Amino acid sequence: MRIATWNVNSIRTRQSHLLAFLEEAKPDVLCLQELKTTPENVPTGAIEDAGYNVVIHGQKSYNGVAILSRHPIEDVRTGLPGDDSDAHARYIEAVISRDGEAVRVASIYLPNGNPIDDDRKFPYKLAWMDRLIAHARDLLADEEIFVLAGDYNVIPQPRDAAKPQAWVNDALFQPETRSRWRALEALGLTDAVRACDDSDGLYTFWDYQAGAWQRNNGIRIDHLLLSPRAADRLAGYAIHKHLRGWEKPSDHVPVSIDLN
């Protein structure tokens, strides 16, 4: 099963890119983030014509997540547990069934958290991560095969940035942010890309400003975290870097993994 994640940065703007990626990479499951629209404005007809079922947790102009699947989608849950007052469309989770086997998949758009001196944004990011840790702990107790995929807005280590010194005052690279990432891994989750490739220079995001793409001044913030049973089946990964060179691209590129 090929599972991919992609912050598409406006699904209506990037519709042609999305359809081209589905045709090119043929993922079984694609988790999308930053749809930036409500469900009724998502091009579900074109997605279904491409052979995919789709479930959406959308929001006007901001956020928005979705799961696309070639296979049946069941047990859909929207919103990260732990705060009923959180109205942001940042989390959707579902079970994908194929050949009698079930894999739980979540699409995550973790809060950015900047600026760090804002008394709401950075604390919201950290509280959201605490809720994610608690939910992951609950999922692990069920011993399911699951994948938590998405734009985490976390640079886990200095080598995950071309210029780590440029991020020391950014919420993506704060000690509190990275400690919560380590807490997720300490639960028993596996960073799929790092399990396959320990190289430097693996990036998934290049800013639109200052020629970041042309200079390869990137960061790795799009991740797939695997439960132990999923990690046991990990067969490979790909960062689809070439999409960043397409006309009017997202500033993120897809990341995919293969599970046996």
242 annotated among ligand-binding-site residues: no
63 annotated among ligand-binding-site residues: no
Query: What are 7's strand-pairing partners?
Result: 33
Region of 76 on the Ramachandran plot (φ > 0 left; ψ -120 to 50 alpha; else beta): beta
Cα–Cα distance, 35 to 129 (Å, whole number)? 21
Instruction: Provide the 10 A C-beta neighbour count for residue 146.
Output: 24
Looking up tokens 């091009």 gives 43
34 annotated among ligand-binding-site residues: yes
151 annotated among ligand-binding-site residues: yes
What letter would DSSP give residue 210? T
Taking Cα atoms as reference points, which of 67, 93, 61, 96 lies closest to residue 80? 93
135 annotated among ligand-binding-site residues: no
Cα–Cα distance, 219 to 168 (Å, whole number)? 13
41 annotated among ligand-binding-site residues: no
What letter would DSSP give residue 233? T
Just list the catalytic residues. 109, 151, 252
Residues at the binding site are: 7, 34, 151, 153, 251-252
Annotated binding site for Mg(2+): 7, 34, 151, 153, 251-252
